[in-house]
A and B are shown apart, each in its own frame.
Chain A
Amino acid sequence: DQQVKQNSPSLSVQEGRISILNCDYTNSMFDYFLWYKKYPAEGPTFLISISSIKDKNEDGRFTVFLNKSAKHLSLHIVPSQPGDSAVYFCAASETGANSKLTFGKGITLSVRP
């Protein structure tokens, strides 16, 4: 049972345009959400996070939006750059669960020059 779902396996965008990566979750106990970025042959690296008490968190070109009623979050990258080409994982955890992360399957983002 996939508790964190990234239904689109891939996304291709033009350099300079916006990239929107979507994530849905089913477990209503999740209250902390993270995005990780992964390059080939490397481990995932933390990108940005959001607590369930917020609906938006911004860090430079990266913004995460959370819609709790829809159990949906999205990562916006503006403007997209070729170096952003990677696999992006959405992850979720619940407070008190020893920070255990549940990951989605990932989305492969390709940014075309």
Chain B
Amino acid sequence: EAGVAQSPRYKIIEKRQSVAFWCNPISGHATLYWYQQILGQGPKLLIQFQNNGVVDDSQLPKDRFSAERLKGVDSTLKIQPAKLEDSAVYLCASSLAQESDEQYFGPGTRLTVT
């Protein structure tokens, strides 16, 4: 079974530029999560999708971050414009069902904003 795929693996941009990350969850997984992990911290949930609907985006900085999961499969997370404090690893995870206890994580995208 293929795992959660993410691309790119690394990205370096200047502040005020925009960037997009892509995630392909495990086939058949209805729930998709985007997390932000700042160095030295644990992952923090940014947004959770159930199929193509948003379940929780309470910690998403909506003035600059956006995410979509149009067909209920792949998802993209965008930052526009980026700030220095956005430097982090962005992790995508998926699970079978909303109340499933096990979330499967992708390898993450390491973003550096200079």
A interface residues (Cβ-Cβ under 8 A, vs B): 4, 6, 32, 34, 36, 41-46, 49, 89, 91, 93, 95, 98-101, 103-106
Q: Is the CB of A42 within 8 A of B107?
A: yes
Asked if A105 and B40 sit within 8 Å, CB to CB, the answer is: yes
Q: Which of A43, A100, A101, A104 has the most chain B CB atoms closer than 10 A to its own CB?
A: A43
Least CB distance from A100 to B in Å reads 6
The answer to whether B103 touches A46 (Cβ under 8 A) is: yes
Say whether B48 faces chain A, with CB atoms less than 8 Å apart: yes
Q: Which residue of B lies closest to A98 (CB)?
A: B55
- List 9 A-B pairs, minimum CB-CB distance, nearest first: A43-B105, A103-B42, A44-B105, A46-B102, A103-B43, A98-B55, A43-B106, A105-B42, A43-B107
A43 touches B4 (CB 8 A): yes
- Size category of the B interface is 20 to 34
Q: Are A99 and B42 in contact (CB under 8 A)?
A: no
B101 an interface residue at 8 Å Cβ cutoff? yes
Main secondary structure of the interface of A (DSSP, over half): loop
Which listed residue (A44, A98, A103) contacts B48, Cβ 8 A?
A: A98
- Bound-complex Cα distance A59 to B88 (A): 32
* Known contacts A42-B107, A98-B56, A100-B56: A4-B42 contact under CB 8 Å: yes
* Residues in chain B near residue A46, CB distance under 8 A: 102-104
User: Which residues in A have their C-beta under 8 angstroms from that of B107?
Assistant: 41-43
Q: CB within 8 Å of A: which of B90-106?
A: 91, 93, 95, 98-106
Picked from A32, A43, A106, the residue with its CB within 8 Å of the CB of B101 is A32
Bound CA span A105–B42, Å: 4
Residue pair B45, A101 in contact (C-beta under 8 Å): yes
Q: B44 contacts A43, CB within 8 Å?
A: no
Q: In whole angstroms, how far apart are the Cα atoms of A42 and B6 in the complex?
A: 11
Residues of B within 8 A of A36 (CB): 105
CA distance A6 to B42 in the complex (A): 10
Contact B43 A44 (CB under 8 A): yes
Q: How far is the CB of B41 from chain A (nearest CB, A)?
A: 6
What are the residues of chain A within 8 A of B50 when measuring CB–CB? 98
* CA of A45 to CA of B55, assembled, Å: 23
Chain B residue numbers with a CB within 8 Å of A101 are 43, 45, 103
